[in-house]
């Protein structure tokens, strides 16, 4: 599977100590490199709180080393011995490690630094001892140093000979305070605000912005941890910081730079991460008997609908066992984390976040944060409501485990009030929060059963103040549609159909995608397909074949397969557009186009085949697809070629000759027989 390197989030952590090797440079270049390195360390700002003494000490030592190295460089007549050069090479490695350690401590999470206080202090001490050893064995008497610099050298050597690591009592007391706070949260005791404020002030986290930065650093640290317990502990710290952010510094404002990517299709999802059935980002990829991967929900629905074949290849499945594709799931989770879009695994998302098992403290911190915000929403004045709703939106998106707690605290009925708000920003935040909550399986029934919730979402879809609000309303309907009964319930509402089709035709590109993915989900139900056809789905996808060919053609394939002759007749005029997709589209779009054309030609008769045959060079296109397309695409192209040749020979299934006769064919949809007008010639046929 080809995956772009940009799919992986960058690591903030620098290389390990073992990654640094001896530079093997000539003496003059080595001295210059050491001087440059000492200068870089000297320019680093010392740590202001945790491990402050060690950082100041290391920076001061690098300045003294700089003076020593400058004196070595001033005397070109002195030839350094092999042992001196070896010491300087090893010193280069030690200084690189010192620089890396200080920068990691400066740029990383303050909470992580605090919890690792003892370990990092030991790292500083070990590096100091390494430097001391190198200074001890350096042949200083042969180096031709001036008297003052030689005295300075011995002073530096003495400073490096510390007997034990130093642990600042204030740092240790602060660490214990944080651990005690987490223990109290674990016992379901709400932290004291005054004590919490003092802790965060001491580590220089004093506002919402610094809290957000700390949370991001902790999330990076989660990925750097190698064992489950450490990662789970990091998640607990994230919960603590997120709780403190809401309680101490108030809700964020919607103008704080939160990038919109709540939509199910706002970002260009890597093709390998999309389910071949619904073209949406896979949440729980599984492998079927043929070796192809699908999203669990989509393939389960396919099998439960009576199919016993692989959707991509058409092969009969030897068994219906679904094997989890854990490797792909991990890649998708990493990509989602980088792009900051919601991603849930099959397990209860109250117990795991990004695959990390949560401990009691993390769960309780989530619950307390959700409860605090929902209570604040219930009592907020009108002017501050938007900030609280926005904070719930962020929490439900960036902390998936909180979705259940937010809903349990009673957020859904409160959010419904603001779906018809005159404030466009508040409306967007409210509907997006409902979308994020709906991703959690247990919340779907709660949303559907809450009075006014579904109606409110549909009204936003139809008449929302912004395209973003309409797109996220469509995404909410998509999310709720994963449950079969809810999908049918929404598909019976003409306002849903009209809203989705209007959005698909008139919205911006990301909103079009939201609408099309939702339409594709609804189209998997035969009853709803008829309503989509009546609403003009064929016209809508026809307009989108150039801008969004994969989505449009996939919908067309499903509609003509499930919609019977009504769909085929209404799609007569798109045949030439499908021919263009066959010639120029992606592999997946060409496969769907070929499949749609096979269905249309087989059931629509000679008129359909004649329209296809009128496309210049169509047979050559078929041969190309047979040679380079997907396995299913090659089979469909071969079927089309046979259909064209039979038609050309006057052997089409209706006895026509070369497409001159009128096709009178029948197909049943739902067992009813209804007259319709066929294609452009106006002939009446019965289906």
Convert 382-408 to b/e letters by CB count within 10 Å (16 or more is b).
eeebbbbbbbbbbbbbbbbbbbbbbbb
Q: What are the beta bridge partners of residue 685?
A: 676
Output the six-digit token pair for 141: 């008497």
Per-residue pLDDT band for 345 (boundaries 50, 70, 90) equals very low
Residue 20's pLDDT is what?
64
- 394 φ, ψ (degrees, to nearest 5): -65, -45
Mean pLDDT check: name the lowest of 20-29, 117-126, 246-255.
246-255
Cβ atoms of 110 and 205 closer than 8 Å: yes
Q: Which one, of 175, 205, 181, lies nearest residue 193 by Cα? A: 181
Q: Which residues contact 256 (CB under 8 A, 6 or more apart)?
A: 208, 209, 212
Residue 317 makes CB contacts below 8 A (sequence gap 6+) with: 288, 289, 290, 303, 308, 309, 310
Per cent of the chain over pLDDT 70 is: 85
pLDDT surpasses 70 at 674: no
Stretch(es) of the chain classified as CATH 3.30.40.10: 282-339
Q: What is the pLDDT of residues 26-64, one digit of tens each?
A: 888 888 999 999 999 999 999 888 888 899 999 999 999
d(CA 646, CA 207) in angstroms, rounded, equals 74
pLDDT of res. 252: 57
Higher pLDDT, 251 or 584: 584
* Helix then strand then coil, % of the chain, to nearest 5: 65, 5, 30
Picking from 245-259, 351-365, 508-522, 642-656, which range would have the lowest pLDDT averaged per residue? Answer: 245-259
- In this prediction, residue 303 carries a pLDDT of 81
C-alpha to C-alpha distances, 33 to 22, 27, 157, 675, nearest whole angstrom: 12, 10, 21, 86
In this prediction, residue 510 has a pLDDT band, given cuts at 50, 70 and 90, of confident
Least confident of 9-13, 248-252, 523-527: 9-13
Cα distances (Å, whole numbers) of residue 361 to 175, 177, 180: 16, 15, 11
pLDDT at residue 240 tops 50: yes
Placement of tokens 């306002």 in the chain: 495
List all residues 6 or more positions away from 56 whose beta carbon is below 8 Å from its beta carbon: 46, 47
With CA atoms as reference, report the closest residue to 167 among 124, 199, 135, 132: 124
Q: List strand residue ranges (DSSP E) for 88-144, in order.
A: none
One-character DSSP codes across 46-65: PPSSTTHHHHHHHHHHHHHH
Spatial contact of 648 and 656, defined as CB atoms under 8 Å apart: no
Note whether 241 and 196 are within 8 A (CB).
no
Mean per-residue pLDDT, 386-415: 90
Q: Calculate the average pLDDT of the chain.
A: 82
Put residue 585 in one of left, alpha, beta given phi > 0 → left and psi -120 to 50 → alpha.
beta
Range 601-630 burial, b when 16+ CB lie within 10 A, else e: bbbbbbbbbbbbbebeebeebbeebbeebb
Is residue 643 within 8 Å of residue 588, measured between CB atoms?
no
Each residue of 112-162: pLDDT tens digit?
888 888 889 999 999 999 999 999 999 888 888 888 988 998 999 888 887
pLDDT > 90? residue 1: no
Question: Is a pLDDT exceeding 60 seen at residue 666?
Answer: no
Name which residue leads in pLDDT, 220 or 34.
34
What pLDDT score was predicted for residue 653? Answer: 47
Looking at residue 463, its pLDDT comes to 93
Number of Cβ atoms within 10 Å of the Cβ of 37: 21
- pLDDT of the residue at 568: 83
Q: Rounded to whole angstroms, how far apart are CA atoms 259 and 212?
A: 14
Helix (H) or strand (E) segment spanning residue 683: strand 683-686
Phi first, then psi: give them for residue 400, nearest 5 degrees: -55, -30
Name the 3-class secondary structure at 296. helix
Q: Is 605 left (phi over 0), alpha (psi -120 to 50) or beta?
A: left
Measuring CA to CA, how many Å separate 219 from each of 57, 114, 196, 394?
Answer: 30, 16, 21, 15
Give residue 261's pLDDT band: very low, low, confident or very high (50, 70, 90).
very low
* CA dist., res. 248 & res. 513, Å (int): 39
CA distance 165 to 123: 9
pLDDT value, residue 683: 30
Render pLDDT for 303-321 as a digit per residue (tens, 0 to 9): 876 678 888 777 788 888 8
Q: Is residue 277 scored above 90 in pLDDT?
A: no
The pair phi, psi for residue 397, each rounded to 5°, is -90, -50
Point out the least confidently predicted range of 54-63, 83-92, 262-271.
262-271
**Residue 26 CB neighbours (<10 A):** 9
Measured CA to CA, the distance from residue 576 to residue 560 in angstroms comes to 16
In the CATH scheme, what is the code of domain 282-339?
3.30.40.10
Q: What is the pLDDT of residues 173-210, one digit of tens each?
A: 999 999 999 999 989 899 999 999 999 998 888 888 88
**Residue 629: pLDDT above 50?**
yes
Q: Are 114 and 174 in contact (CB under 8 A)?
A: yes
Mean pLDDT value of segment 369-378: 92
> CA 178, 246, 454: angle at the middle one, nearest 5?
135
What distance lies between CA 502 and its chain's CA centroid?
28
Q: Tell me: pLDDT of 682 over 80.
A: no
* Mean pLDDT along residues 428-450: 92
- Enter the pTM of the model: 0.71
- Give strand pairing partners of 329: none
> How far apart, in whole angstroms, are the C-alpha atoms of residue 182 and residue 197?
14
């Amino acid at each position: 599977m080809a995956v772009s390197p940009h799919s992986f989030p960058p690591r903030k952590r620098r290389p390990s100590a073992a990654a640094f090797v001896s530079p093997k440079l000539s003496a003059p270049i080595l001295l210059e490199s050491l001087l440059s390195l000492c200068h870089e360390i000297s320019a680093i700002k010392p740590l202001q709180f945790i491990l402050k003494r060690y950082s100041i000490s290391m920076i001061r030592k690098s300045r003294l080393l700089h003076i020593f190295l400058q004196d070595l460089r001033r005397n070109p007549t002195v030839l350094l011995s092999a042992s001196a050069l070896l010491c300087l090479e090893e010193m280069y490695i030690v200084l690189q490690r010192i620089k890396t350690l200080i920068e990691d401590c400066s740029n990383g999470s303050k909470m992580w630094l605090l919890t690792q206080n003892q370990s990092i202090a030991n790292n500083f001490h070990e590096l100091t001892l390494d430097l001391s050893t190198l200074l001890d064995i350096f042949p200083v008497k042969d180096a031709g140093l001036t008297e003052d610099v030689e005295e300075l050298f011995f002073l530096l050597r003495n400073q490096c000979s510390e007997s034990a690591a130093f642990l600042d009592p204030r740092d240790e007391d602060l660490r214990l305070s944080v651990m005690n706070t987490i223990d109290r949260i674990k016992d379901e005791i709400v932290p004291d605000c005054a004590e919490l404020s003092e802790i965060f002030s001491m580590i220089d986290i004093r506002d919402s912005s610094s809290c957000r930065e700390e949370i991001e650093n902790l999330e990076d640290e989660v990925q750097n941890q190698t064992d489950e317990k450490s990662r789970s502990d990091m998640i607990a710290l994230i919960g603590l910081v997120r709780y403190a952010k809401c309680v101490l510094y108030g809700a964020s404002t919607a103008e704080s730079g939160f990038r919109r990517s709540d939509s199910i299709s706002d970002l260009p999802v890597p093709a390998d991460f999309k389910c071949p059935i619904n073209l949406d980002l896979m949440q729980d990829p599984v492998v079927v008997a043929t070796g192809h991967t699908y999203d669990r929900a989509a393939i389960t629905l396919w099998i439960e609908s009576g199919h016993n074949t692989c959707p991509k290849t058409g092969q009969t499945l030897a068994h219906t066992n679904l094997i989890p594709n854990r490797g792909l799931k991990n890649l998708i989770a990493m990509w989602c984390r980088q792009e900051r879009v919601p991603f849930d695994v099959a397990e209860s998302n109250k117990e795991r976040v990004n695959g990390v098992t949560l401990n009691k403290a993390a769960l309780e911190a989530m619950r307390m944060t959700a409860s605090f915000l929902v209570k604040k929403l219930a009592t907020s004045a009108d002017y501050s409501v938007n900030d609280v709703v926005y904070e719930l939106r962020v929490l439900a998106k960036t902390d998936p485990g909180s979705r259940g707690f937010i809903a349990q605290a009673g957020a859904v009925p409160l959010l419904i009030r603001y779906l018809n708000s005159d404030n466009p920003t508040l409306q967007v935040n409210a509907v997006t929060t409902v979308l994020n909550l709906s991703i959690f399986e247990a919340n779907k029934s709660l949303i559907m059963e809450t009075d006014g919730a579904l109606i409110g979402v549909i009204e936003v879809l139809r008449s929302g103040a912004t395209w973003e609000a309409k797109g996220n309303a469509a995404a909410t309907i998509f999310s709720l549609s994963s449950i079969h009964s809810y999908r049918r319930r929404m598909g019976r509402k003409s306002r849903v159909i009209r809203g989705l089709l209007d959005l698909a035709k008139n919205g911006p590109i990301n909103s079009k995608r939201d609408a099309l993915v939702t339409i594709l989900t609804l189209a998997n139900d035969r009853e709803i397909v008829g309503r989509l056809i009546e609403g003009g789905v064929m016209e809508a996808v026809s307009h989108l074949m150039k801008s969004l060919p994969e989505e449009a053609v996939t919908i067309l394939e499903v509609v003509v397969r499930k919609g019977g002759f009504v769909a085929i007749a209404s799609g007569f005029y798109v045949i030439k557009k499908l021919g263009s997709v066959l010639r120029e589209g992606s592999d997946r779009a060409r496969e769907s186009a070929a499949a749609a054309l096979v269905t249309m030609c087989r059931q629509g008769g000679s008129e359909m085949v004649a329209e296809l045959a009128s496309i210049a060079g169509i047979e050559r296109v078929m041969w190309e697809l047979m040679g380079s397309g997907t396995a299913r695409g090659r089979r469909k192209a071969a079927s089309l070629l046979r259909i064209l040749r039979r038609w050309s020979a006057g052997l089409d299934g209706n006895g026509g000759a070369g497409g001159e006769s009128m096709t009178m064919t029948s197909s049943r949809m739902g067992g009813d027989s209804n007259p319709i007008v066929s294609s452009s010639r106006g002939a009446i046929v019965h289906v």
